[in-house]
Amino acid sequence: MLALVLEGGVLLLWQISSASTTRLLLPSPGPAASVTTPPSTSGALTISSKVDFGCSLPMTVYSHRVLVSLPRGGITFNEPQPSASPGASGGSSYIGRRWLSVPPAWVSPDGGSYASLVGASDGSGFDAIVSRNATGTQRQLWKGSGHPTIVGWSSSGLYFLLQPSSSDPRGVPALWVVDPDNPDLAQKVGPNPLFAAAGVGPRPVFSADTKLSGDTAWDTLRNSDDKLDRVQRMDVQTGSVSIWYTAPSGARVSILGFDGQEHPVLQLTSASSTTPQALMLLTGDDQTQSIAGAQGQAEGFTNAFADTHGVWIGSSGVLWLYRNGSLFKVTDVPIGQILTDSSARNAAGSLQAPAVVGPCAKA
């Protein structure tokens, strides 16, 4: 189909492949939504006395899915984390007492659906689909040339980054949005170079690491001229791009996740080490708030997940919680407590650090 899209005050003609608007069961089932092995309880973690609430915390630990009972620390093992879905990194989430094989960002705001990618029938790449948790029915959201990477959901629908096909060497990745109720109206939202602020290049580029928070997309970039890392922000309503943070010389910046107010959680490390130099919230344009308690850690932080209790932050072998203005260690997560097989323990250095993949809720 053909669609007119407004970009920088100019109407552009876009060719968008038609997506089915009826519910259908696709030949490829996509990510499994249920646990296939019975859970087992074994051992317990030592939990900080600062955890003064009770809930069941879903985590992936050394590539295993576990539920940790707080504040007791009991561990319930479910199953090893399956292979990540196409385009996903650390593909697990726990919503409504069900494990899903997609990252939390791929789950809809109401928790009733999740997005995933399936191989295109012609082998050209991947198509985006949405699945209902309760019924298992699926709907095709997007099909076309190029390679999509799912970014996340907002009130407007599902956002994905589209990498142009290899036949279009001049193309740059662009952010698109599709409304599940009107998949034929998928449209490009940015980046819009006509609305770029000072310091943004003539062709703003967002990568597969782009993260979505509310109506804002975030990514980091490294300027080839001054060799400084920057955090760039895109307003997905207008496509406008601006720089919100510039790291000091010699430092690398990464976005771990977001807090409950949708502020990015940033980590600074040196260019030659993973030892964190700083952990902070990006609260405004060039405005940061230091997270106390992060100094002196030998290992870098890797992920952040917010719920009503605060911001859960993972690092190698440790789970942290940022709450009431300070960061504290919730528990150590010993390798031997999770991996009983010696060969698995020896390979643990290449496994992902502990990560919270769903809200801590009453069991």
Question: CA 120, 139, 101, 221 torsion: positive or negative?
Answer: positive
Q: 137 or 307: whose pLDDT is higher?
A: 307
Q: 218 or 11: whose pLDDT is higher?
A: 218
Question: Which band of pLDDT confidence, cut at 50, 70 and 90, is reported for residue 151?
Answer: very high
DSSP one-letter code for 145: S
Per the structure block, which two tokens stand in for 345?
């323990």
Residues in the chain: 363
Question: Which band of pLDDT confidence, cut at 50, 70 and 90, is reported for residue 280?
Answer: very high
Q: CB-based contacts of 11: which residues, under 8 Å, 6+ apart? A: 4, 5
Per the structure block, which two tokens stand in for 347?
């390979």
Calculated CA dihedral for residues 73, 322, 311, 175, nearest 10 degrees = -140
Mean pLDDT, all residues of the chain = 80
d(CA 102, CA 82) in angstroms, rounded, equals: 10
d(CA 307, CA 210) in angstroms, rounded, equals: 21
Mean pLDDT of all residues in 348-359: 77
Question: Which band of pLDDT confidence, cut at 50, 70 and 90, is reported for residue 144?
Answer: confident
Give pLDDT, residue 349.
52
Checking if the pLDDT of 326 tops 70, the result is: yes
pLDDT tens figures, 42-96: 668 999 999 999 999 999 988 789 999 999 999 998 777 666 666 555 578 999 8
Question: Which band of pLDDT confidence, cut at 50, 70 and 90, is reported for residue 343?
Answer: very low
Checking if the pLDDT of 165 tops 80, the result is: no
Mean pLDDT of all residues in 136-159: 89
Q: CB-based contacts of 341: which residues, under 8 Å, 6+ apart? A: none
Question: Which band of pLDDT confidence, cut at 50, 70 and 90, is reported for residue 350?
Answer: low
Long-range contacts of 78-81 (CB under 8 A, 24+ apart): 78/35, 78/37, 78/39, 79/35, 79/36, 79/37
Q: 123 or 291: whose pLDDT is higher?
A: 291
Question: Which band of pLDDT confidence, cut at 50, 70 and 90, is reported for residue 154?
Answer: very high
Q: CB-based contacts of 350: which residues, under 8 Å, 6+ apart? A: none
Nearest to 127 by CA among 107, 146, 106, 104: 146
d(CA 146, CA 141) in angstroms, rounded, equals: 15
Mean pLDDT of all residues in 155-173: 79
Q: 4 or 240: whose pLDDT is higher?
A: 240
Mean pLDDT of all residues in 182-207: 80
pLDDT tens figures, 3-37: 433 333 333 333 333 333 333 333 344 454 544 44
Checking if the pLDDT of 140 tops 80, the result is: yes
Nearest to 26 by CA among 154, 124, 120: 120
Mean pLDDT of all residues in 293-316: 85
Mean pLDDT of all residues in 329-351: 62
Checking if the pLDDT of 203 tops 90, the result is: no
Give pLDDT, residue 300.
82
Give pLDDT, residue 353.
78
Question: Which band of pLDDT confidence, cut at 50, 70 and 90, is reported for residue 126?
Answer: confident
Could you tell me the residue ranges of all domains in the chain? 2-356
Mean pLDDT of all residues in 322-348: 71
Strand partners, 292: 326
Global confidence as pTM: 0.82
Give pLDDT, residue 161.
93
Q: 293 or 344: whose pLDDT is higher?
A: 293
Half-sphere exposure of 157 (CA within 13 A, CB side): 23
Strand partners, 231: 220, 245
* Strand residue runs (E) in 96-235: 98-100, 113-119, 126-132, 138-142, 147-154, 157-163, 174-179, 182-190, 211-213, 216-222, 229-235
| Topology classification of domain 2-356 | Methylamine Dehydrogenase; Chain H (2.130.10)
Checking if the pLDDT of 210 tops 70, the result is: yes
